[in-house]
Structure 1
Amino acid sequence: MISQLSWKIGGQQGEGVESTDRIFSTALNRLGYYLYGYRHFSSRIKGGHTNNKIRISTKPIRAISDDLDILVAFDQESVDLNAKELRAGGVIVADAKFNPTVPEGVSAQLFAVPITAIAEELGTSLMKNMVASGASWALLGLPMEVFNQAVQEEFGRKGAAVVEKNIEAVKRGGDFVLAQAGGPLEAFKLEEADGKQKLFMIGNEAMGLGSIAAGCRLMSAYPITPASEVMEYLIKKLPKFGGTVIQTEDEIAAVTMAIGANYGGVRTMTASAGPGLSLMMEAIGLSGMTETPLVIIDTQRGGPSTGLPTKQEQSDINALIYGTHGEIPKVVIAPSTIEECFYDMIEAFNIAETYQVPVIVATDLQLSLGKQSCEQLDYDRIAIERGKLVTEELEPREDNKLFPRYAFTEDGISPRVLPGAKHGIHHVTGVEHDQEGRPSESAVNRRKMMDKRLGKLSQLRITDAVKADGPSEPADLLVVSMGSTGGTINEAQARLAQEGIATKHITVRQMHPFPNDLIEPYLQRAKQVVVLENNATGQLANLIKQNVGYHDKIVNLLKYDGTPFLPSEIYNACKELN
């Protein structure tokens, strides 16, 4: 028996690959397995090769695997493109319709199943995804009733007849391949899972759920890959909590609407990707100047311009930190796990209101769209902090003076009132202003206001601003990362440790203001530092050099071809440096 297995399905986009993966992984989740998924898909609605890869394990995992055990293929292109990942003795389940062949040099067992023909016998070729998934499920020897339950959940809303047809498709696919194989494959029999209930979601869903838990009741946004799922999730969920989602005409409208709603006292957010973020830059400056809370999700993807809208990249860091003209206080947070996507959204809303600043939560495509197992969330950790929001009745001001919305204070944070509060009237403008919000070009006032705003975040440190793992004692080799790459690094670390090579790994979660004091001790103790990131110019490495130093120790490990790092790539790079 084996403790983990890797399964992939490939075909043309719009052919049912996504739904097959969804039902297959849902059934595995019901059994209590840990799952980690990766979607490779084209930037078009229909057509073009797409594949979904799932790693299944009895232990927690946070990375895609180097190799592949089972490939389900709807066409020869899927075989040709993906068979090279198969380990020796791997399995291909392919539609007999296209007379599948195994590429030269690939050692794999081929099962040609009449996937389309069986589906058509049952009434429609659309059910071929159920035939295919039934075949691969049967080879694993897993309980069929669990899979049928997942089919019921997927198609139940369409009626009993549709459910029965799909269950029959699953059965026929399984029966056919078992007749060929002579029964389930012993080499692919998984150890029993722990059976514990786990959440199974993508990062976008976790951030949407975290927003609701944080008290967000309005999202204004414009659809864009890979951020759209945040919007789609909240469209379904927010109305249940008295909230709503508004699809605006563009990203400029989305962010300015969010600023206006936050000014009115409603916790509001928006979500986008690189191109949309570019359009938001002027408005982000408005949030900083008017000291209005604002939360933005940026799901990084391949750029520049339209770039690779459906592929992995971490290249927005410079834009997130330096994109706005002028100088404003701003916070950039980069979660690295599904759990952090949830908890960081709560912290983002609290920081935005406590410090009255824009907060950007930056994920990458793999974290945003890669579906993963997640431990049960601790709702007792949730606390809502609204900072210096004045809720008590205000006293009348002498000589009809306005409320000092931008008053100079020791911590740089001024009292904030909501529109309509009696005796709370004040000016709000994007130009420089005095303590009551009136436009001011006074040189003395300008300097004091700039110092007030920019000084607010000097001591800010988010929860686990720099997260460390590896041996407790210092190691000669330090690996530094951000975003979704952490789990992949951990796997490479484990392989290196087996060979006696100790490494330390830190994940930078607070990108701005940069936590120099927390990072410097790790760099000081290491002999060599590998900074790993999905971009071409080493943006995280440059941040470290700019803020902390140690230029002579830093080595870049960059990948910018649109695909995530594999454990073997990190293992090989670190071993060469040792």
Structure 2
Amino acid sequence: MVDQLSWKVGGQQGEGIDSTGEVFSLAQNRLGYYLYTYRHFSSRIKGGHTNNKIRVSTKDIGAVSDDLDILVAFDQETIDVNYHELHSEGIIIADSKFNPTAPEDCKAKLFAVPFTEIANDLGTSLMKNMVAIGATSAILGQSTEEYREIVQEVYGRKGDKVVEKNMEALRQGAEYFNEQAGGPIERLQLEKADGKKRMFMIGNDAISLGFLVGGVRFMSAYPITPASEIMEYMIKHLPDYGGTVIQTEDEIAAATMAIGANYAGVRTITASAGPGLSLMMEAIGLSGITETPLVIVDTQRGGPSTGLPTKQEQSDLMAMIYGTHGEIPKVVMAPSTAEEAFYDAVEALNIAEEYQCPVILLSDLQLSLGKQSVQPLDYSKVEIRRGKLQQGELPELEAKEYFKRYEVTEDGVSPRVIPGQKSGIHHVTGVEHDQTGKPSEVASNRQAMMDKRHRKLNNLKFNQPIFTNKKHEDADLLVVGFNSTRGAIEEMMPRLEEDGIKVNHAHVRLVHPFPAEEMKELVDSAKKVVVVENNSTGQLANIMKMNIGNLDKINNVLKYNGNPFLPSEIYAKCKELL
């Protein structure tokens, strides 16, 4: 028996590949297994190869696996594109409809199963995905009845007859495979799971849930991959809490509308990807100079321009820190797991209001759209902090006097009021202004206002700016990453340790302001440093060099072909450098 296996289903987009992966993974989740998935899909509505790789384990996991145990193919292209991942004892189950063949150098065993034929005999070819899952259950030695709960959830609204038809498709798929193979494949039998209930969600859902419990009641956004699921989640759930979502005409409107709503006192967010963030840059500057809270999610994808809209990349880092014109205080956060994404979404709202500045929650496609097991969330950790928002009565103003909305304070944060609040009248403008908001070009005022705004982040409090796995005081190697590379890094570390290499791990969670002191301490205690990132220029490594020096120690491990890192790739690169 094995403690984990990797399963992939592939075919043409629009023929039920997603639903096949969803039913299979949900069933394993209900059985108590840990899961991590990554979906490869084309930037079109229908057609083009797509696949979903699902890793099932008895232990917590955070990355896609290096190899593949089972490949479910709905067309020949799936075999041709993915067979190289299969190890020598892997299995291909393919629809006999297209007369599947395995390449000469493929060592995995191919089983042709009539997915479409069985489904047609039951009434519709749409059920071929259930036949494939049934064949999978036979390989794993799982009873098809273990899938009933999920089938009922997915198809129950269509009636009991449809549920039973799908269950019959599962049974016939399992029976056909068992007749061909002579029963379950012993080497692919999973050890029994712990049976515990865990959440199973994509990072975008975790971010959305964090915003919901963190008090967001309005969202303005424009759809874009891979951020659209955040808006879809909020459209579905926000009205239940008295909130609403507006789909704007573009990202410029989304950002400015979010600024307006935050100015009015409503916790508001927007979400986009690289191209959308480019359009928001002027508005981010407006948030900075008007000192209006603004929270934006940037789900990174392959760029530039339209680039690779459905593929993994981490190339927005510099743009998020330095993209705005002029100089404003700004916070950029980068969670690395769905669990962190939930808590960081809440914290982003708090920081935006406490420091009255734009906060960017940086994700990437693998984190945003990859579905993973999440331990039960601790809602007692959620707190809402609104900073210097004046919610009581304000002192009376003298005649013709204005509220000092931009008062010069020691900590750089001024008192904030809601429009219409008695004695809170003030100017708001995108040009430089004095303490009441009145436009001013006086040199001394300009310097005082710039200094005031930049003092805000001198005392920024962030619970864990760097996630660290520090096993050694004097390490041979420090591996650094951000966002979704964490799981692959953690998985390859024991391999290096087995080779006698002392390795530490640091994952940056607060990108800006950069936690220089904490990182310098980790870098100083290592002989070499490797920074793992999905871009071509080593953006995080360059930020580290700017903030802490150590140019001779810091090395790059880069991948920018649209695919996420595999643990073996990082391991091999680290070995090369050492």
Question: Aligning the two structures, in what range does the TM-score lie when normalised by the shorter sequence?
Answer: over 0.9
Alignment-mate amino acid for residue 86 of structure 1? L
> Matched residues in 2 for 1:344 and 1:124: separation?
45
1:1-400 counterparts in 2 under 5 A?
1-400=1-400
The Cα of 1:37 is off from its aligned counterpart by: 0.2
1:474 equivalenced with 2:474 (yes/no):
yes
**Residue 160 (structure 1) shift:** 1.6
CA distance in structure 2 between the aligned counterparts of 1:406 and 1:353, rounded to whole angstroms: 14
Q: Does 1:421 align with 2:426?
A: no
In structure 1, stretches of 5+ residues that fail to align are none
Matches of residues 364-513 of structure 1 in structure 2 within 5 Å?
364-513=364-513
Matched residue SS, 2:22: helix
C-alpha displacement at 1:577, in angstroms? 2.2
Shift in Å, 1:185: 1.1
1:253 partner amino acid: A
Equivalent position amino acid for 2:92 in 1: I
Aligned residue type for 2:145: E
Whether the aligned pair in 1 keeps the contact of 2:84 and 2:106 (CA below 8 Å) is: yes
Q: Structure 2 length normalisation: TM-score?
A: 0.99
Structure 2, unaligned runs of 5 or more: none
Deviation of 1:538 (Å): 0.6
Q: Conserved in 2, the CA contact under 8 Å of 1:218 and 1:268?
A: yes
CA distance in structure 2 between the aligned counterparts of 1:145 and 1:219, rounded to whole angstroms: 42
What RMSD over aligned residues (CA atoms) do the two structures have, in Å?
0.8
Superimposed CA distance per residue, residues 291-312 of structure 1 (whole angstroms, 9 cap, x where no aligned partner):
0000000000000000000000
Q: How much does 1:183 deviate?
A: 1.1
Question: Structure 1: how far apart are the matches of 2:461 and 2:87?
Answer: 45
What CA distance in whole angstroms lies between the structure 2 residues aligned with 1:502 and 1:481?
18
Structure 2 CA distance for aligned equivalents of residues 286 and 146 of structure 1: 55
* CA shift for structure 1 position 470: 4.2
Matched letter for residue 547 of structure 1: N
Contact 1:461–1:510 (8 Å) recurs in 2:
no
Mapped contact 1:321–1:512 kept (Cα < 8 A) = yes
Counterpart AA for 2:485: T
Q: CA deviation at 1:528?
A: 0.8
Provide the C-alpha distance between the structure 2 equivalents of 1:146 and 1:412, rounded to a whole number of angstroms.
Answer: 59
1-structure distance, mates of 2:476, 2:96: 54
Aligned pair count reads 578
* Structure 2 counterpart SS, 1:266: coil
- 1:262-319 residue CA offsets vs partner (Å, 9 max, x unmatched): 0011100000000000000000000000000000000000000000000000000011
Deviation at 1:235, TM superposition (A): 1.0
Separation in 1, partners of 2:494, 2:205: 30
CA distance in 1, matches of 2:139, 2:314: 38
| Separation (CA, whole Å) in 2 of partners of 1:298 and 1:145 | 41
SS in 1 for 2:459: coil
Q: Retained in 2: the 8 A contact 1:288–1:329?
A: yes
Corresponding residue SS for 1:467? strand
2:476–2:501 contact (8 Å) kept in structure 1:
no
Report deviation, 1:171. Answer: 1.2
Mapped contact 2:144–2:167 kept (Cα < 8 A): no
Large movers: runs of 4+ above 4 Å:
none
Please tell me the residue identity of whatever aligns with 1:572: A
**Cα separation, 1, equivalents of 2:143 and 2:526:** 50
1:197-217 deviations in whole A, cap 9, x for unaligned? 000000000000000010001
Per-residue deviation, 1:460: 1.5
- Cα displacement (A) at 1:491: 1.0
| Corresponding letter in the other structure for 1:464 | Q
Identity level (%): 66
CA distance in 2, matches of 1:238, 1:183: 48
Determine the C-alpha separation between the residues in 2 that align with 1:193 and 1:409: 57
* Deviation string, structure 1 residues 482-512 (Cα, Å, up to 9, x no partner): 0100110111101111222121110011111
Q: Is the 8 A contact 2:478 2:505 kept in 1?
A: yes
Contact 1:493 1:502 (C-alpha < 8 Å) held by counterparts: no
SS of the aligned residue for 1:372 comes to: strand
1:489-542 Cα deviation digits (max 9, x unpaired): 111101111222121110011111111111111111111111110000110011
Q: In 2, are the aligned partners of 1:474 and 1:504 still within 8 Å (CA)?
A: no
1:472 Cα deviation after fit:
4.2
Is the 1:93–1:112 contact (alpha carbons within 8 Å) kept by the matching residues of 2? Answer: yes
CA separation in 2, counterparts of 1:346 and 1:305?
A: 30
The 8 Å contact of residues 135 and 170 in structure 1, kept in 2 or not, is answered as yes
Tell me: CA distance 1:481–1:461, structure 2 relative to 1, closer, same or farther (3 Å): farther
